[in-house]
Copies of this chain bind each other. A is one copy, B any other.
Amino acid sequence: MGAAMDKFESEHSQPISWHRVLQAVRRYGPLARVDLGSILELSPATISSITGDLLREGYIREVADSDLHGVESGRGRGRPKVLIELAPDAACMIAVKLSINRIEVARGDFAGGVGPVTSRSLNTLELSGAALIAALGDLIAAEIAAIPASVGRIIGIGIAVQGLIHKTETLVWSPALSLRNFNIAAPLAARFGRPVIAMNDADCIALAIQQRGDLQPVENLAVVMLGTGVGMGLILGGKLHAASSGAGAEFGHTKYQIDGPLCHCGRRGCIESFVGDYALYRDARSMLDLPNTDALHPSEEQMQALVDLAESGHNVAVSLFKQAGRALGYGLSNLIALISPDLILITGSGVRGYRQMEPEMRRALDEALVDTLLAQTEIRPYPWDEDLTLRGIVLQVLEVGT
């Protein structure tokens, strides 16, 4: 994160305390100056001076408490408190999601909102580096051309990708691409004259879920993403865990069974090789009469058909989800032993099979861990009703860029 931060810092040389104030307002706002002071451990005088500057520059705006809580403000607590919130149009950024055979682009606003999404289908696995950059660049250019004059400067561009990303710019490996060790950020930064960061998609989703407001805040949160692959985003100490290398949270490639089945990654016995869509469908096809498919990427319909078979009690399908649940449980037991998250959320499209996996997952956890360790962590499914990837990358660009 350090390098990306430096890029943004040199971009606009405002005092560094602004950064902390804006982050806090984005996260906890709207809020009163006095609460802002407690959160940031800054004196009322310092807060007053910084918020004065930010108001003048148009980054924040004042809103009366009564605008928000009309009823409560009448309770005779004196004049309504003035709260501070971000001005959504103070600045913007372009958010991109690159996944297998699809690119999605949207504009993010200064308060963390995501605008309408434009998407394009293409065969990502066949793309050369130049073709990928051209495809991304054209969509980004169109999005930039559509920004109204009333919106402030473009802070930067964020790209969410499944896979391993080094120092927020190099795609070491992604299942969506045949390219390896490809610097996706530099050519786009050169074309648009803006900082560009790339980020793992599961990290984006973890960040978005953490800040979505429908969860009790927890210090340590793991979001496990089930789907074609098995990914994870980790929030530790309230912040996205960013390995200095950009790697990390490769939950899908922790081991369930040494010398087990071959995984997409080329190694054996990874959790993903038991729990990933491709693994379930590969095994299912060797025993069940299922529609033919690109075995690497079974479709949503095909996977749902497999879940339906299990739900109806078909032995082979049931046993596949059982085995997946057992592998998932042992994988989670290692995660709990190492980090003891307060909460583990299981989500992603693969959560469709959660009910079929859960009993065996719980059994494996009981087998693997002493009760006192197990009791520290709550595990539950999180509905996959909306793709939060773009929202997450918007939050991250704002986090490092303002």
Contact = CB atoms under 8 A, between A and B. Distances in A.
A244 B265 contact: no
B43 A267 contact: no
A377 B341 CA distance: 22
A218 interface: yes
Identical subunits present: 2
Contact of A247 (B43, B219, B249, B373): B373
Given A219-B244, A237-B236, A267-B368, A338 B254 contact: yes
Given A244-B342, A341-B243, A258 B330 contact: yes
- Interface size class, chain A: 35 or more
A243 B376 contact: yes
B334 A338 contact: yes
A251 B376 contact: no
A329 to B, nearest CB: 10
Contacts of A237: 236-237, 239, 241-242
B368 A338 contact: no
A356 interface: no
A294 interface: no
B241 A372 contact: no
Given A267-B370, A372-B172, A251 B43 contact: no
A195 B7 CA distance: 44
Given A249-B338, A254-B338, A268-B367, 5 more contacts: A173-B370, A219-B244, A232-B338, A237-B237, A250-B373
